[in-house]
Structure formats: C-alpha cells, structure tokens
Amino acid sequence: MTPEFTTRGWPYNLTVIGGRDSSVGDGGLTLGGGISSFSARYGLAYDNVNNFQVVFADGSIHNVNLKTYPDLFQALKGGGNNFGIVTRFDLATYAQGDMWGGLVQYTENNLETFVDALSHFGDRQVEDPDCAAIVSLIYYQAYGINIVNLNLEGAKPVVNPALLKDFTDVPSPMKSTMRVTTLSNITDEMVKVPHHDIKNSPSLMLEFAELFKTQITAVKAVKAVKAVTAVKGVFPVISFQVISPATIAQFAKNGGNPFGITADDGTLILMSTSNRWSDAADDAAMYAMADNFIAAATATATAQGLLHPYIYMNYADASQDVFTGYGAANKAKLLATANKYHSSGVFRSLLSGGHKLK
C-alpha cells in the first residue's frame, strides 16, 4: 500500500485494503486483484472498492458502482486496464491499530516443515482470518546459499497467534524481525518479492522448490550455459502464499469477481517467482530461465492433476494468458462488457501495457 494511504489513514487508526509493500502502486494492484495482509478477513483490494470513477473511451467521466453499472463494476475487478482509466477509487476503510509482524529467516533444511505449515495454515485460516503467511525460498548470492524467508503477520497486537504456531515454534531462526508495530512499518519492511495457482499440495511445493534450485544452477536455454549464481546482482525468489477458503468466501461481496475461483477449490497455493539482476547483458538468459521454470512447473502440476487454471494478473508474466485462466464463461462475459461500453476497443488496442482481453 502506498505511503500516501498509510500516512493519511494512520492518524485515525484506519486502513484500506492494499498491497503489502509500500513501494507498490494502488491503481494496477486494485484493478488486478490486490492481495493484502487482511485478505482473509476482508477479501482482495477490489472486493473493497465501493465506487470507481472512470474515464470512458469517449472522454466522459462516470461513477461505476454496483448500482450504476453493475456489469462494468464487476469487470473492473480483475479486468486490468481494458475497461477505462480509473481516476478515483472509493475504498472501504477499516479500523487498524498496531499489529504483529515481520520476517523470519531459516536455513534451507527447514523448507519442508514450512511448506507443510503453509498447507495446513490455508485450510485453517478461517479460524483466525487476522493471520497471514508467505513462504519464500531466496538465493543469496553473497553467501551462495538458499534461505527460507517467512513473512508472518497478525492484524492484532498479539505475539505468536495460535494459528501461526507451526511456523513460530520452529527453533533457531537465522534472523527475526517479528514485533508489534504499525502497518506502515510492516509495509516498509516487506521483502520485495513479487505465477501459478495449484491445489494445496506440500509435495508439489517442494518439487517447485527443487525445480527452482535446478534453474538457478544453470541457464540451459541459452547457448553459452552460464550459472545463474554467477549473474551479476542476481536475486531469485520463489514464493508460496495461500488463496484460502477464508479469502474465497469474501469474493462474493460487492457483486463478485470474474476469477472463476469457488469454494469447491479449497485452499489454492499461489506460486510466484521473481528475479532481479543488474546487467542488461544477462536479460536473455534470465528471461529464458524464468520461461523454463514456468513451463516446467506448469507441466509438473498438470501431470499431477494439481494445476488450477487461474493466473493472478498482478504476478503474471506478459506471456501468460490471464483471461483464459478465468474460465470460458467469465472471459466471454468480460468481452461482452468491453464491447458494450467500448465498442471501439480503444483500451484494448491503443493503451500499451497490461494484460489485454482478446
């Protein structure tokens, strides 16, 4: 959530539902979904939009909400930049005082414990929707090792909430910043980790982690095989977080969304991978590595019948077909809405960037 939101709301102990990192913008985040630390209690950022002020293709300005344009309102939630330029978001606000949170890091041999913990956590998050967790494996070039990074949060100022005990009971972290503090401190600290959805499976998460490690050993798709570990400034991350039944239950509010995710899906694991590096000469190798990794992860999950078609727009690579992942009926509905309001297709053809509805 941007500092503008946190600093404006904070004197009143109020927050809105936004991103977990203070450097991330609110416009794209909200139009693609917006997973927050509070999503199990309140849903995604866009579940908490009461009104969008939108500039249409003809330049006219409209308040789009459940009463004025219900179809367009639903389409904007997950439709990205295909439906107009949003010039104002009216968001629900929530009381929020101090919370408990931070990051904890462990050696890689604890990975299995934590993916198991995340799997159980997703199934049980409904018991305490104030808790949130992300499990990441990060390669630290300076030390030449992989480290397990946990981002743990509880929306109340309670140390070690019971639901997170499977994480917090593991002894001997290498580092821990867990403390009671403000939301803005947490969003400032959040590790900059920016996909695929899979059914809840600890063993598949471990297989993805193995694939990740194979990929960082060598970039095989380029002619000159170069170890990613040698790429200047490389910082590869693979992260797992849940879209739990607690969060999915929130999707019905405010007119629903076009994601195609239902309660029958149970706990979904959102897997994302991100890579940073410093030299443009390594671009081709690093993009090839990411492509290989996504292809291998997709094939592995598909072979085990564990791939969910949903792809989270805000983490997706440009090559990924987000809208097909919403399901045929949802995609057709979005296309019909786009044609109804913008028959010229101007936002889908002239506005560069973003995932395009085709």
Ligand X SMILES: Cc1cc2nc3c(=O)[nH]c(=O)nc-3n(C[C@H](O)[C@H](O)[C@H](O)COP(=O)(O)OP(=O)(O)OC[C@H]3O[C@@H](n4cnc5c(N)ncnc54)[C@H](O)[C@@H]3O)c2cc1C
Q: Phi and psi (nearest 5°) for 253? A: -75, 155
25 lies in the site for ligand X, by CB under 6 A:
yes
CA dist 133 and 328 (Å) reads: 31
Residue 59 touching ligand X (CB under 6 A): no
Q: Sheet containing 49-55: give its strands across.
A: 61-64, 49-55, 85-91
How many residues at the interface with ligand X, by CB under 6 A? 23
CA separation for the pair 224, 275 (Å, rounded): 20
Beta pairing partners, 177:
none
Residue 19 makes contact with ligand X by CB under 6 A? yes
CA distance 114 to 146: 14
Q: Does 257 bind ligand X (CB under 6 A)?
A: no
Scanning 18-26, 119-127, 202-210, 296-304 for contacts with ligand X by CB under 6 A, the matching segment is 18-26
List for the chain the helix, strand, coil content (%; round to 5).
Answer: 40, 25, 35
Binding mask 83-122 for ligand X (x = CB under 6 A): --xx------------------------------------
The nearest distance, CB 351 to ligand X, in angstroms, is: 6
Nearer to ligand X (CB atom), residue 21 or residue 153 = 21
CA distance 2 to 25: 6
Q: Is 20 in the site for ligand X (CB under 6 A)?
A: yes
Calculate ∠ Cα 147-153-155, nearest 5°: 175
Taking CA 256 as the corner, what is the angle to CA 87 and CA 39, rounded to the nearest 5 degrees? 80
C-alpha–C-alpha distance, residues 310 and 325, integer Å: 4
Interface with ligand X (CB under 6 A), residue from 239, 314, 330, 337: 314
Position 191 contacts ligand X (CB under 6 A): no
Residue 250, interface with ligand X (CB under 6 A)? no
Among 15, 17, 33, 119, binds ligand X (CB under 6 A): 33
Assess 342 for contact with ligand X (CB under 6 A). no
Tell whether residue 35 is a contact of ligand X (CB under 6 A).
Answer: yes
Give Cβ neighbours of residue 340 (< 8 Å, ≥ 6 apart).
71
- The residue range among 29-37, 259-267, 288-296, 316-324 that interacts with ligand X, by the rule CB under 6 A, is 29-37
Pick the closer one to ligand X by CB: 85 or 206: 85
Of 163 and 322, which has the nearer Cβ to ligand X? 322
Nearest Cα neighbor of 35 from 329, 269, 327 is 269
How far is residue 268's CA from residue 200's CA, in Å, rounded to a whole number? 5
Region binding ligand X by CB under 6 A among candidate stretches 6-14, 16-24, 124-132, 293-301: 16-24
Pick the stretch among 32-40, 96-104, 145-153, 231-239 that binds ligand X (CB under 6 A). 32-40
**Which residues here bind ligand X, judged by CB under 6 A?**
19-21, 23-25, 27-29, 31-35, 80-81, 85-86, 192, 194, 314, 353-354
